[in-house]
Amino acid sequence: MTDQANPFAGGTAVITGAGSGIGAGLARRAGELGMTVVVTDINGPAAEAVAAQINAAGAKAEALVVDVSQPDELDRLAETVFDRHGSVRLLVNNAGIETLGFSWEIPTARWEATLNINLHGVVHGVRAFVPRMLASGEECWVANLSSVGGFGQMPTQAAYIVTKHAVQSLSECLYLEMQVKKAPINVCSIIPGMLKTGIFNADQGKGEPDSAAAYRKAMHDMMAAYGMDLTEGCRIIMDKMAAREFWVDTQPEMTDQILGGRIGFFQSRQAPVLADQVKQLLGMEA
């Protein structure tokens, strides 16, 4: 990205779930591009560590503890950030968890956490920040973390996929709402393919049914073997957001493949089918 094409050379970025994974990668990249980065996470030490990395690299960052599953905390975050920094150029509603297991075996607490973090955290992030962004009259960005899973189907990943379908729909509607308002707010749907993060680590499965452990390991191993480098993926994401693109995908060929399958599914109106690759991941005979 050239300096002339970098609208993120300044301004404040707020990124939720930025203590690890894609959120941390985007926070570091935003700092490299010249933004003041507000690193938020429910894990305070993790957020502090990422902010320290950004500051050590010569950029500016601060860490705040935020639980996005609590709407009031997002209201307080917005109030705090606008009071301290005056405006927000980039909001990334990134915080999310992966939940595995058969739909009926996932405990209530894990279902609720997945919905509250992955979906309601985005909804209330938008609700808390957008009125202030509109009032500023400045060009700014709202980016929501969807996934290639937001267009697909996967047994034992229903909880996660439900939230990503919903986030994608929210982002599409929000984009149109900004057109109605004639607002200078760029809405982006971030659609990662498979990036190398810790989302499938064993310690992330707390609260899942025991039957999910084998599948979590299979996904962890596949990500380790075939996932895209996190730094490269986050560079692509920031470049596409800077170009004001709505579809911010890291691996377009993967997006195309999944979208193609989805379109065919809708057109055929046939029942869902277990693909051979899915059977292998689930330990079934292909």
State the number of CA atoms in the 13 A half-sphere of 199 facing the CB: 27
Please tell me the distance from the alpha carbon of residue 40 to that of residue 157, in angstroms, as a whole number. 26
Tell me which of 160, 175, 215, 226 is the catalytic residue. Answer: 160
Please tell me the distance from the alpha carbon of residue 14 to that of residue 19, in angstroms, as a whole number. 12
- Whether residue 94 contacts residue 26, with contact meaning beta carbons closer than 8 Å, is answered with yes
Helix or strand or coil: residue 249? Answer: strand
Residue 226 falls in the annotated catalytic set: no
DSSP calls for 27-93 = HHHHHHTT-EEEEEESSHHHHHHHHHHHHHTT-EEEEEE--TTSHHHHHHHHHHHHHHHS--SEEEE
Helix or strand or coil: residue 123? Answer: helix
The identity of residue 148, as a single letter, is: V
Please tell me the distance from the alpha carbon of residue 34 to that of residue 40, in angstroms, as a whole number. 18
Question: What pairs with residue 283 in β-bridges?
Answer: none
- Whether residue 144 contacts residue 68, with contact meaning beta carbons closer than 8 Å, is answered with no
Catalytically annotated residues: 160
